[in-house]
Every structure is written in C-alpha cells, then in structure tokens.
Amino acid sequence: MTRILPGILAMAAIVVASNILVQFLILDGLLTWGAFTYPFAFLVTDVMNRVYGVGPARRVVFVGFVVGIICSLIGSQIMLEFGPAVALRVAIGSATAFLVAQLLDVAIFARLRDGAWWRAPLASTLIGSTVDTALFFTIAFSGLLSFGANADAQIAWAQDAAPFLLAGPMAPLWVTLAVADWGVKLAIALLALVPFRLIVGRLQQTH
C-alpha cells in the first residue's frame, strides 16, 4: 500500500478539488473549473496501472470513489439558495460515472499495455472519458430518468431549452453542458500524454 500512497493521495486531491471547483462557473455557465481538474483522475489511474499493475490501479480507483461519496454527502448537507449544493441525482450520477469509467479505463489499459507506450493511456482515457460523460449527465440531468418529484425538481434547470453550445439550435441545457465537458476531457486526454510519459519514466527508474 505504501508504494501506491502517492497515487492514492493524488486521486483523493483531484476528487476533492473537482468537487469544490465544480461550483464555479465559467464561459457563461458552459463549463466549471472542475471540468479541468477531474480528467486528471484518468492520468493517475493510468500511471498506477503502467507502473504497478491492474490491482493497485483498481485500489486507487476505489479510494477515489469513496472520497467522492464523502464529498457528495458533505455537499448534500450544504444548503444554497435553490437547494443542496449537491443534488441527489448529481451525487448518484457522479459516483456511478466515476466508478464505471475508471474501472473501464483500467481494463482497456490492461488489454493494450503491450502496444506502443501512448496507445493504452490514450485509448483507455478517451473511452473512459466518453463513458463517464454519458453516464454522469444522463443520470444527473436527463429527463429520460426520474428519481422522484423532489430529486427531479432540484435539477429541472438543466432540462430547460437553451442554444446548443450557446450559439446553435435549441436543445436541453444538459446536452450542451455534456458536450462541452466531453470536449475538455478529450483535450486533456491528449495533453496528459506528456506528464504520463514523464511520471512513468521517473517512477520506473526508482523501482
């Protein structure tokens, strides 16, 4: 456990930071600052997978999952003007998306680990990020699902019609938010290849 402690601490820090920064909107509400920190969770998972293997990578993921649940529980007790800081649907969507996407990332990385150095982290992160976005926004905001009148009322704003990506045809707001978030994840997946290469090289030299 000691050898993966840096990975555990990094994952916990990313999850906590993302849960805080998601409260701060930018670009007319199109994104939050949390959109730029959360994708680095995939970087941590992939580094752990490359250096220590599937088992340790999964342990780091489960720690992040637990920390995320704790953050959601705390957020659900913080009351803002329009309700709790973390709505029930958002909490469920966040936890489900994180666990499924991260474990999928681990599995895909393991399948591709013997190929070119960039293939496993890039493919696993791109696919994991796509699944993460689809699961989170569908569970948290889509009108296709219902968690009861009270839970649905807390996220009704996300189902209002708005110009797609602020300039296109009218669409549910949550669809625009999902696409914008997905775009950030894909961009960071590409950029993260650089620190992935550097961090893995450094860790492999010390083991």
Q: What is the pLDDT along the chain (207 residues), one digit of tens a residue?
A: 688 999 999 999 999 999 999 999 999 889 999 999 999 999 999 999 999 999 999 999 999 999 999 999 998 888 877 678 889 899 999 999 999 999 999 999 999 999 999 999 999 999 999 999 999 999 999 988 888 888 888 899 999 999 998 888 999 999 999 999 999 999 999 999 999 999 999 998 876
Predicted model pTM: 0.94
Dist. CA 203–CA 28, nearest whole Å = 40
pLDDT in tens, 143-194: 888 888 888 888 999 999 999 988 889 999 999 999 999 999 999 999 999 9
The CA–CA distances, whole Å, from 80 to 23, 74, 140, 164, 176 equal 11, 13, 18, 27, 24
C-alpha dihedral sign at 12, 13, 14, 17: positive
Q: Burial of 75 by CB count in 10 Å (0-12 exposed, 13-18 middle, 19+ buried)? A: buried
Domain containing residue 75: 2-205
| Token pair for 86 | 């973390």
Q: Is 55 exposed, middle or buried (0-12, 13-18, 19+ CB in 10 A)?
A: exposed
Give CA–CA dist 129/123, Å, rounded.
10
Q: What is the total count of domains within the chain?
A: 1
| Rounded to 5°, angle at Cα 113 from 109 and 118 | 85
Residue whose C-alpha is closest to residue 57's, from 40, 69, 43: 43
Q: Residue written as tokens 């399948």? A: 111
* CATH number of the domain bearing residue 132: 1.10.1760.20
